[in-house]
Structure 1
Amino acid sequence: MDIVALPALLEGWPGPGLTLDGQGQPLALNAGARQLADRHDGWLIELGRWAASGGPLSEPHRSVPVETGSGPGVVEFTTVLLSDGGVLCLGREVTLERRLRHALTESRQRYKDLVDISSDFAWEVGPDGRFVFVSAAGAIGYHPDDLIGRHPSEFVLGDFADQPLPFDTAVGIERTEVWLRAKDGEAACLISSAVPLVGPQGDWIGARGACRDITEARVKGMELAQVRLREKYLGYIVSSTRDDVDPGKTLEIAVGVAVNATGAGGARLYARTGDAFAEAAAQLAMAPDIVEAIPPFLEQVAEQAEPITASVNGYRLLATRTLFRHEVNGAILVWRGDGLDWSEDDFSMIQAIADQVGVAVAQARYQERLKTLSERDGLTGLYNRRTFMELLESRLDKQTGGGSALLYFDLDNFKAVNDKLGHGAGDDVLRAVGELLGTLARPSDLCGRLGGDEFVLWIDRVDEAQSVAVADRLLREAAEFLRPLSASPEKPLGVSVGVAVYRGGSGELAQGLVDRGDQGMYAAKRMGKGHRALSPAFTAD
């Protein structure tokens, strides 16, 4: 080599370069070599020893460790013997190249090891979409030879047939779930990552990927989700039973939960009294053509400890009984018209709901009894004084025009019944008056017992003539209905009636109206028993 041109060669070299004498001592270093030497000169010493020992004669390439700006590295020097016995060393940093080579070698081995030991599988499909490679462990119970040449779609479960599959993907995908039918016929959930294979012309020639079987984890996850969902739904019912003062609201929540939890088309909740079921709450109207089938079906439900199903005119019914203190007190029923059958989860859910609803039905009945006891007279079933006055006040507030009337009456010769026949016979008379008013009053009217043998009848939306006609009818029917219960023919039972006409918007209060009716009743008494009299008209002070 031309020794004269050597300095220019060193300075023009893009990597580290230097010359050494025959004893391995450095003579000249270019900028790259000086930069490395400034950081650490161990490489320079190692290279000098190697050159002094005659290394360049047997091995023209030498790699030495160096310190680079980004950390430890490797420089590979190519050596040339000079005419004066020295050595020219031209270096090239190969740190990245070696790292990549090492990573590639390591990744190939790692991939091979993982594929060989994995219980899951790697796969590849060809241009026709059929398996051309399956890893040694096989997949979903099949040996690799059982899968090679077959199309993945043969194993896809029907419910998932319309979903994109990793086996025919045209783009790279990660962690896509696919459900396949395993060799034993069971469903298997696989999570797959895949990349498409593209030919020289950019056309799809297959796909390659790896799958991991997560069936057990997915099933456990679904079971846990089902448990949590059940707890959530039942929590609605339990909290409503505990916190809601309106039992009817609890029952409405229960049927709503039944619909949502089972995916039903609708639901009905029934309360049982004796052997008869009566609807207590419903969500969505039931098809008319299945209503007639419900009563006999509920009779079967009451006899079965487990939920039962039935098919009626294309609808699928599912029902189970509700219990309270080991007695059947109702039933909950759901239905669907989509032709789908009920699953085991549906059976489990409807039973869990029924376990809670039994308490809610019992509570609703208890609340109804309390309400009845607080509002009704225990002997006649009519409104008691307090409730009647509250309802009457509400009616007066709402009526801004027109007329209505209050009939206030008591029994003639009632004392004789108690004195001669006893108070039991007197109670029979009072109950009979309750029955009489039940037949005489319209749904919009109000009937009450104010106490003793004093009764009131509010006749909604009538004028004076109409109210008098009702009073006359009451006189006739009371005399006929009560006569058999009289103490004696000489003292026949009957009523004396005071008629107080109310003018809407007059400002008269409920107690004032009742007092006017009472005055009219006493006026009728003075006329003789079995009469009626109009009360004085209301005048504002």
Structure 2
Amino acid sequence: MPAMNTALRPEDWSVMVPPAAAASAALHGALLESRQRWQDLAGLGSDLVFETDNTGRFTFLWPETVLGHRSAGLLGRRADSLLLGAGPSPFDLRQAVRNHRAWVADASGQPRCLSLSLAPLGDARGGFAGLRGAAHDVTQEETAAATAAAGLRRAAMLDALAEAVRHAGTASEAVARGLAGLREALGCAGTAMMVPTATGPEVAAGTVDPPAGLIAAAGLALAAEQDWLGPLEGGQPAALLHHHGRPPALSALAAWRSPGGRAWDAEDLAVLRSMAATLGAVLGFGRLQQELERQASTDPLTGLANRRAFLDALEARLVPRRAAPGALVFLDLDNLKPLNDQHGHDAGDAALRATARLLRETAGPDDIAARFGGDEFILWIDGADAAIATARAAALIQGAHAMPAARAPRFSLGIATWDPASGELPARLLARADAALYEAKRNGRGGWRLAEAPASWN
């Protein structure tokens, strides 16, 4: 008997397979073919494709590894369980969505940004059967955009702060404006510029007084010239950022928030570091300028005002009808040359410093003491009449005699009183006091003479 051919031809299927089963198989094959075609097309432009059921659970994922997860391990899991942060879930939408950005966690818990495109699936009755979606990992792009945006915000903030600093009239005003603007921009409880001193850190400028804990930290940070970050006791976020310059330009920007306030982020610290450099430079310039002005107006040996500074201050005091009366005292050392000849110039310098110390000790808060040049000193006694001025002269002479006799300064004094109603000019007053001084020297030295006021001024 010949062998029978059991192979089925396609035209025989309708005979062998029941019509309903054939239709179901054809539909299933069409769905598989449709899914495969969609998967192939979506995979060409996406990092992952997926489907969910009507409860939002994954029913299909491609490729085999998704965000570090094995795809098989995610099947049956709710898609929104991967989302980070609060807010509405894109997987709850029942309408088409294109390029919706959402942050999700990968298998290691790191944030990843996905650009989602979703389309709803319908069942045989036209109801909602789930979602079909494709996603592209745009973490790098989103991070770059966020970094650029943060940079633009930071640049705009720094420009605004720099503009406030630039429009200030003085260095101190510039620092004050910068600190106030920084406090507002970063939501700080306070900001300050700290500088080192021999006795510890000092607030050179500030919006409010820093907390005690921050001052203590500033002492260590300034000594080591290092930045310091950390919460203070009570949980206050605080920071000390240095401006590295030589004293008196060395400083640190201090900033702090209220207890429980937001911790510093990278953008905050970038702004603080930039402003520490800007305000530190302005503060340092101002302090250097003050130091130069102090040196220009100070006698380096005695620390008293020099001749120019004294004359400027005296001229400002002697304003007719506005000033108070006073007395001018000229003082000249009688024994500077003998001290230099017998004991050397160090002994002479010591006598000059001792005289300056006597003047400082006897001067009142509104008085002006200066080294006028060489072995001459001068003192303005504010509000003094002849009795007060002569008593002060006698006290200076007595103070000198109380020092060890061998190298103590010895001096003569000339006194001239001044009346605002007289209209006497500073030069005339100085000349009268100087004449009284030389009269004291001609009369044996070691004493004082009071100049008589002329009857009228020409």
Please classify the TM superposition score into its range, dividing by the shorter chain length: 0.5 to 0.7
The 3-state SS of whatever aligns with 2:434 is: helix
Unaligned stretches of 5+ residues in structure 2: 1-34, 123-127
Cα displacement string for residues 302-358 of structure 1 (whole angstroms, at most 9, x for unaligned residues): 347564435223323322555347999444332222434344555566566666777
3-state SS in 1 of match to 2:208: coil
- 1:503 maps to 420
Does the C-alpha gap of structure 1 residues 325 and 360 become closer, same or farther in structure 2, counting only changes over 3 Å?
same
Alignment: residue pair count = 415
The structure 2 residue matched to 1:299, chosen from 200, 220, 237, is 220
Partner of 1:74: none
State the match for 2:45 in structure 1: 118
Using the size of structure 2 for normalisation, the TM-score is 0.67
- From 299, 304, 314, the equivalent of 1:382 is 304
Q: Is the 8 A contact 1:498 1:524 kept in 2?
A: no
Aligned pairs for 1:78-117 (under 5 A) are 115-117=42-44
Distance apart, 1:113 and its partner CA? 6.1
SS of the residue corresponding to residue 439 of structure 1 reads helix
Picking from 112, 134, 141, the partner of 1:188 is 112
Contact 1:277 1:330 in 2 (8 A): no
Change in Cα spacing, 1:214 to 1:197, as seen in structure 2 (3 Å) is same
| Residues 171 and 196, structure 1, Cα contact 8 Å, conserved in 2 | yes
Q: Give yes or no for the alignment of 1:391 onto 2:313.
A: yes
Query: Unpaired runs of 5+ in structure 1?
Result: 1-107, 199-203
Q: Is the 8 A contact 2:52 2:60 kept in 1?
A: no
The letter for the 2-side match of 1:511 is: A
Mapped contact 1:273–1:329 kept (Cα < 8 A): no
User: Who is 2:253 aligned against?
Assistant: 332
Displacement, 1:168?
5.2
Among the aligned pairs, what percent are the same residue?
Answer: 28
Q: Verify the 8 A CA contact 1:318 1:334 in the aligned structure 2.
A: yes
1:484 maps to amino acid: M
**Aligned residue type for 2:42:** V
Residue aligning to 1:316: 237
Partner of 1:430: 352
Query: Residue 248 of structure 2 contacts residue 287 of structure 2 at CA under 8 Å; is this kept in 1?
Result: no
Measure the CA separation in 2 of the matches of 1:348 and 1:210: 38
- Across the aligned residues of Structure 1 and Structure 2, the Cα RMSD in angstroms comes to 5.1
CA distance in 1, matches of 2:351, 2:394: 15
1: distance between equivalents of 2:159 and 2:401? 55
Counterparts of 1:350 and 1:385, CA distance in 2: 44
Once the 2 structures are TM-superposed, how far is the Cα of residue 195 of structure 1 from its aligned partner?
A: 9.1
Paired residue type of 2:203: E
1:407 counterpart (317, 328, 332): 328
Q: Counterpart of 1:220?
A: 144
Per-residue deviation, 1:268: 2.9
Q: Are the structure 2 counterparts of residues 172 and 495 from structure 1 closer, same or farther at C-alpha, using a change threshold of 3 Å?
A: farther
Q: Report SS of the residue matched to 1:401.
A: coil
Q: What are the superposed Cα offsets for residues 231-289 of structure 1, whole Å, 9 maximum, x if unpaired?
A: 7788899999999996556755775687578654333333335684333333x2135xx
Secondary structure in structure 1 of the residue aligned to 2:293: helix
Offset, 1:476: 1.0
Q: Give the drift of 1:472.
A: 1.2
Contact residue 269 and residue 280 of structure 1 kept, 8 A = yes
Q: Measure the CA separation in 1 of the matches of 2:455 and 2:68.
A: 94
CA contact (8 A) 1:136 1:144 kept: no
Letter in 1 for 2:453: P
Q: Is the 8 A contact 1:475 1:494 kept in 2?
A: no
Query: What is the CA–CA distance in structure 2 between the aligned matches of 1:242 and 1:333, rounded to whole Å?
Result: 21
How does 1:341-380 map onto structure 2 within 5 Å? 341-343=263-265, 363=285, 366-380=288-302
For 1:428, give the aligned amino acid: A
What CA deviation, in whole Å up to 9, does each residue of 1:433-457 have, x standing for no partner? Answer: 3222323334443322222233333
The 5 A counterparts of 1:235-274 are 248=172, 264-273=188-197
Give the letter for the 1:146 counterpart: L
**Is it true that 1:493 corresponds to 2:419 in the alignment?**
no
SS where residue 219 of structure 2 aligns? helix
Asked if 2 retains the 8 angstrom alpha-carbon contact of 1:170 and 1:196, the reply is: yes
CA separation in 2, counterparts of 1:206 and 1:293?
Answer: 58
Residue 279 (str. 1) matches residue 221 (str. 2): no
Equivalent residues of 1:268, 1:334 under 8 A apart: yes
3-state DSSP of counterpart to 1:403: coil
Report if the CA contact (8 A) 1:155-1:180 is conserved: yes
Range that drifts further, 523-532 or 321-330: 321-330
The answer on whether the counterparts of 1:234 and 1:356 sit within 8 Å (CA) in structure 2 is no
Task: Give the aligned residue type for 1:493.
Answer: R
How far off its partner does 1:186 sit?
Answer: 1.4
Alignment of 1:501-540 (within 5 A): 501-503=418-420, 508-522=424-438, 529-533=446-450, 535-536=452-453, 539=456
The residue type equivalent to 1:472 in the other structure is: A
Q: Indicate which of 67, 72, 78 corresponds to 1:150.
A: 78
Distance in 1 separating the partners of 2:266 and 2:129: 44
Partners of 1:494 and 1:267 in 2: how far apart?
A: 52
Q: Is the 8 A contact 1:237 1:357 kept in 2?
A: no
| Paired position in structure 1 for 2:7 | none
Determine if the alignment matches structure 1 residue 480 to structure 2 residue 399: yes
Q: How does 1:136-215 map to 2 (within 5 A)?
A: 136=62, 140-141=67-68, 143=71, 146=74, 150=78, 152=80, 154-158=81-85, 161=86, 163=87, 166-167=90-91, 177-191=101-115, 212-215=136-139
The residue aligned with 2:20 is none
What SS does structure 2 have at the residue aligned with 1:268? strand
**Do the aligned partners of residues 488 and 260 (structure 1) sit closer, same or farther apart at CA in structure 2, a change above 3 Å counting?**
closer
Following superposition, the deviation at residue 367 of structure 1 comes to 3.1
Contact 2:249 2:281 in 1 (8 A): no
Q: Secondary structure at the match of 2:209?
A: coil
Normalization by structure 1: what TM-score?
Answer: 0.59
User: 1:262, 1:350 within 8 Å by CA — same for their partners in 2?
Assistant: no
Q: Name the CA distance, whole Å, in 2 between partners of 1:419 and 1:379.
A: 19
* Structure 2 residue matching 1:437: 3-state secondary structure: helix
Distance 1:536 1:449 in 2: 25
In terms of Rg, which structure is larger?
1
C-alpha change, 1:126 and 1:378, in structure 2 (3 Å) is: same
| Paired amino acid for 2:46 | S
> Which has the higher relative contact order, 1 or 2, with Cα contacts under 8 A spaced 6 or more apart?
2
Alignment CA distance shift 1:454-1:325 (3 Å): closer
Distance in 1 (CA, whole Å) between partners of 2:388 and 2:417 is: 13
Partner SS state of residue 328, structure 2: strand
Question: What amino acid maps onto 2:78 in structure 1?
Answer: R
